[in-house]
Amino acid sequence: MDRILELADRHHLTVIEDAAHALGTRYRGVHAGGFGKIAIFSFHPIKNITTGEGGLITHSDDPLETRLRMLRFHGIERDAWKRYGKSGNPDYDIETPGWKFNLTDIQAALGIAQLERLDEFNRRRTELVEIYREELKGIPGLELPGDPPYPHVHSHHLFVVKILSMDRGRFMERLADYNIGYGFHFPACHLLKYVRERFGVQRLPETERAAQAILSLPLFPEMDDADVSYVCSSVKTILKGSRGD
């Protein structure tokens, strides 16, 4: 972030943080979302906490907030509480075309309850990652995620390994044989159909190499230690088989 902020400063650019994964993450003591002009967190079902769907925008810009509040609900500044609540005024005006992006009160209630459990969830994720790192270290053909060299708190949204010694598709089939779920985060953006058609095919060899090797192993707070050990021993068996020894 230091380098991004320095670059943005030099060129008068606005930094918008995609902090979708980063609830609970700190970089040199500062929580994600504390750097740019705006940051966006996701509460999609697979994120560290969820509201079913939805998210959160943090900012340090009051006029922007007024505009965001308006845009999220048809361009109407007055929400249902202001229009239908006690001594509310049912009148409204549309000041600008907007969307229907408002989080419902029911989702917000879920989010508040989830937020109270965030530290517990992230602590458990950290414990599970420690088991993964311990049990998977030094396995030929498997690369573990890097550990950043600067002071940080990681919220461990995903545990992404690289499969280097066998075809990733084949590896996934073998994981399924062991009844182990997996994820794929993320395909190379520049190779997606829309991006290719819109911007033309670019070659990004390092990105493509990484995109072909990455695989997310199961990681969620309800896993118990034995679940992680089962995944680790299965991964070892699969990779060992691939080497023919």
Interacting residue ranges for ligand PLP, rule: CB under 6 A: 18, 20-21, 42, 44, 55
Tokens 């007024």 sit on residue: 66
Could you tell me if residue 179 is left (phi over 0), alpha (psi between -120 and 50 degrees) or otherwise beta? left
Shortest Å distance, C-beta 44 to ligand PLP: 4
Closest by CA to 132, choosing from 237, 25, 229, is 229
141 versus 218: smaller Cβ distance to ligand PLP: 218
Catalogue the active-site residues: 47
**Who's near 111: CB < 8 A, 6+ residues apart?**
43, 49, 51, 54, 56, 103
Closest by CA to 184, choosing from 205, 213, 142, 155, is 213
Rg of the Cα atoms in the chain: 22
In degrees rounded to 5, what are phi and psi of residue 212? -80, -20
Shortest Å distance, C-beta 46 to ligand PLP: 7
16 versus 30: smaller Cβ distance to ligand PLP: 16
44 versus 83: smaller Cβ distance to ligand PLP: 44
21 versus 174: smaller Cβ distance to ligand PLP: 21
